[in-house]
């Protein structure tokens, strides 16, 4: 939306962001790290020891080097280290009445890189998790087609043209609790209705081509086999463009909670349309006006009208560390990191502010930059212990710039739940503790 766009970033001299670290300073930190930590000292010292390298006696041989470790098959299916036990999906229990129609959130604050591990992908159900026997699974194409077709899972896996694609899935309600002001204290809760995995599947187009879409066919209805019978209307152009009938995520079978054995992938579009436990695709000449595209997943504007069929997830970003669940622990060198994504294409640039949006520095985008996929950014900075107001602002290759929350409200009002892609602010206090605040 052009009305959300910000002017090209100006970067005045002395932009509030500290200059890059000198390599020498960082080496001195590494050299003294063990001794300083043992003494409980968080401060950085440079000195002769750094130049000579650390004294080997500072680091005694640890106990885990003195006994054999566990054998290769203690975990036939591997698990994270027990020291990572807090890195889990979490719920906000007061949000919904029951866990069968609820949401858990991805622990973004603890993750890095661009791929969400399968066991940490947020889960959104409207009728609980269906358990489908893959041998009994069937997928149907019908409606305005020349030939109605039914596929088994094996049939789907024998289709020519299988592809691998990484895409983010963001629930349209992500950040929905933040429309009227800062509310939830952690990026897990404010932004954790997103995951980014590699899907293996077959383009939906292959199935539609095989069935033969009649000229009147302009929309498809995707339906899930769960108790919610999730149904959404999708324009035929999108169905024929890049939608996937996916059966694997990050190299293994879909997880039950992500739609095992088959889900629909609708790149860049709101998560609600990514029907899990995919049962059928019906071709029709108009949208079906289902519950999820009328009473839900519409945006009530200030004048009483509603935005409808707002499929695309606009460019958005969030700093994942520091954030309320990942406070700053040390003065001196720090690595700020976060994620950015756009349902319209690739992330072109991410700017970071440490002073609530007055001054901006361009962050370092690192790792693969793929269309409609999560992108990782970093800003290496020196922290002197002053209060920070951390923000990030994403730009995509269409020129779209992530708006501030007030710019968004000027256009959409405050009745909305969905499609809140406004700029997030974290207040870092001088003791490093971090909280969710809003500066506009
Ligand atoms: N069959 C079915 N598909 C579904 C849903 C559902 O409840 N049932 N929830 C939808 C919603 S609202 C979202 S945001 C995504 C969530 O996908 P995830 O559980 O893999 O995170 O699935 C969508 N597909
Ligand atoms: Mo959703």
pLDDT tens by residue, 66-120: 999 999 999 999 999 999 999 999 999 888 888 889 999 999 999 999 999 999 9
Boundary-marking domain end, from 259, 275, 307:
307
Using a 6 Å CB cutoff, which residues line ligand 1?
Answer: 121-126, 169, 171, 195, 224, 226, 228, 230, 257-258, 271-272, 274-277
Is residue 162 within 8 Å of 202, Cβ to Cβ? yes
Q: Specify whether 413 is located in the same domain as 323.
A: yes
> ∠ at Cα 298 (296, 302), nearest 5°?
125
Atom of ligand 1 minimally distant from the CA of 271: 14
Same-domain check for residues 386 and 331: yes
User: What distance in angstroms lies between residue 52's CA and the mean position of ligand 2's atoms?
Assistant: 56
Q: Which domain holds residue 300?
A: 118-307
Show which of 261, 282, 307 is a domain's final residue. 307
**Which has the closest alpha carbon to 153: 253, 85, 44?**
253
Q: Are residues 300 and 329 in the same domain?
A: no
Q: Which of 284, 307, 330 is the last residue of a domain?
A: 307
Ligand 1 pocket mutation pick from 124, 170, 257 by most atoms within 8 angstroms of CB: 124
| Residue 170, helix vs strand vs coil | strand
Which protein residues have their CB within 5 A of the ion that is ligand 2? Answer: 124, 171, 271-272
Give me the pLDDT at residue 440, please: 62
- Name the percent of the chain lying above pLDDT 70: 88
Residue 92 and residue 132: Cα distance in Å, rounded? 28
Co-location of 280 and 332 in the same domain: no
Q: Which of these ranges, 16-30, 98-112, 267-281, has the smallest mean pLDDT?
A: 16-30
Task: Based on the fold, state whether residues 237 and 265 are members of the same structural domain.
Answer: yes
Residues 288 and 356 in one domain: no
Distance from Cα 291 to the centre of ligand 1, integer Å: 14
Task: Judge if 223 and 267 occupy the same domain.
Answer: yes
Whole-number mean pLDDT of the chain?
A: 90
**417 Cβ partners below 8 Å, 6+ apart?**
173, 176, 179, 299
Q: Which of the pair, 240 or 35, is modelled with greater confidence?
A: 240
Q: What is the rounded CA–CA span in Å between residue 269 and residue 257? A: 20
Q: Do residues 186 and 287 both lie within one domain?
A: yes
Structural domain tally of the chain?
2
**Three-state DSSP state, 376:** strand
Shared domain for 176 and 277, answered yes or no, is yes
Is 179 inside any structural domain? yes
CATH code, domain carrying 228: 3.90.420.10
Most informative mutation of 274, 279, 297, 374 for ligand 1 (most atoms within 8 A of CB) = 274
Q: Sorting pLDDT into bands at 50, 70 and 90, what band is 361?
A: very high
How confident is the model at residue 53, as a pLDDT? 76
Helix, strand or coil for residue 354?
A: coil
In a shared domain, residues 153 and 205: yes
Are residues 245 and 224 both part of a single domain? yes
Contact criterion met (CB below 8 Å) for 192 and 170: no
Are both 219 and 356 inside the same structural domain? no
Contacts of residues 400-403 at CB distance under 8 Å and 24 or more positions apart, as own/partner, are 400/1, 400/4, 400/5, 400/314, 400/315, 400/342, 400/344, 401/4, 401/5, 401/6, 401/315, 402/314, 402/315, 402/316, 402/317, 403/4, 403/5, 403/6
- pLDDT, tens digit, 9 for 90 and up, residues 396-436: 999 999 999 999 999 999 999 999 999 999 999 999 999 99
For 130-186, write each residue's pLDDT tens digit: 999 999 999 999 999 999 999 999 999 999 999 999 999 999 999 999 999 999 999
């Amino acid at each position: 939306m052009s009305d959300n766009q910000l002017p090209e970033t100006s970067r005045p001299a002395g932009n509030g962001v500290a200059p890059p670290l000198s390599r020498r300073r960082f080496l001195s930190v590494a050299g003294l790290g063990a001794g300083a930590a043992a003494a409980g000292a968080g401060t950085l010292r440079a000195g002769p020891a750094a130049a000579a390298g650390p004294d080997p006696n500072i680091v005694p041989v640890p106990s885990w080097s003195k006994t054999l470790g566990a054998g290769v098959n203690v975990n036939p299916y591997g698990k994270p280290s027990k020291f990572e036990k807090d890195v889990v999906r979490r719920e906000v229990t007061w949000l919904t009445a029951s866990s069968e129609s609820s949401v858990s959130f991805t622990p973004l604050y603890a993750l890095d890189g661009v791929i969400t591990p399968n066991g940490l992908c947020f889960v959104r159900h409207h009728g609980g998790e269906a358990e489908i026997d893959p041998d009994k699974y069937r997928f149907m194409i019908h409606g305005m087609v020349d030939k109605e077709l039914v596929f088994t899972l094996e049939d789907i896996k024998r289709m020519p043209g299988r592809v691998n694609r990484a895409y983010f899935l963001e629930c349209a309600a992500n950040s929905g609790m933040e429309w009227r002001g800062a509310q939830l204290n952690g990026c897990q809760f404010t932004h954790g209705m997103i995951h980014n995995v590699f899907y293996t599947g077959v383009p939906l187009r292959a199935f539609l081509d095989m069935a033969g879409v009649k000229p009147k066919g302009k929309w498809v209805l995707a339906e899930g086999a769960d108790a919610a019978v999730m149904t959404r209307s999708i324009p035929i152009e999108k169905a024929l463009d890049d939608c996937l009938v996916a059966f694997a995520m990050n190299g293994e079978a879909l997880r039950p909670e992500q739609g095992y054995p088959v889900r629909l992938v609708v790149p860049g579009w709101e998560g609600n349309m990514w029907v899990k436990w995919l049962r059928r695709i019906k071709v029709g000449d108009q949208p079906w006006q289902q519950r999820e595209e009328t009473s839900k997943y519409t945006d009530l504007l200030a004048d009483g009208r509603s935005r409808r069929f707002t499929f695309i997830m606009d460019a958005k970003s969030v700093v994942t560390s520091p954030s309320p669940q990942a406070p700053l622990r040390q003065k001196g060198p720090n690595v700020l990191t976060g994620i950015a994504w756009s349902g319209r294409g690739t992330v072109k640039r991410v700017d970071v502010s440490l002073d609530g949006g007055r001054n901006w520095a361009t962050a370092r985008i690192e790792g693969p930059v793929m269309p409609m996929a999560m992108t990782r950014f970093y800003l290496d900075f020196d922290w002197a212990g002053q209060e920070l107001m951390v923000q990030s602002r994403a730009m995509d290759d269409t020129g779209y710039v992530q708006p501030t929350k007030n710019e968004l409200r000027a256009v959409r009002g405050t009745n909305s739940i969905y499609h809140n892609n406004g700029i997030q602010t974290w207040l870092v206090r001088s003791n490093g503790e971090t909280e969710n605040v809003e500066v506009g």
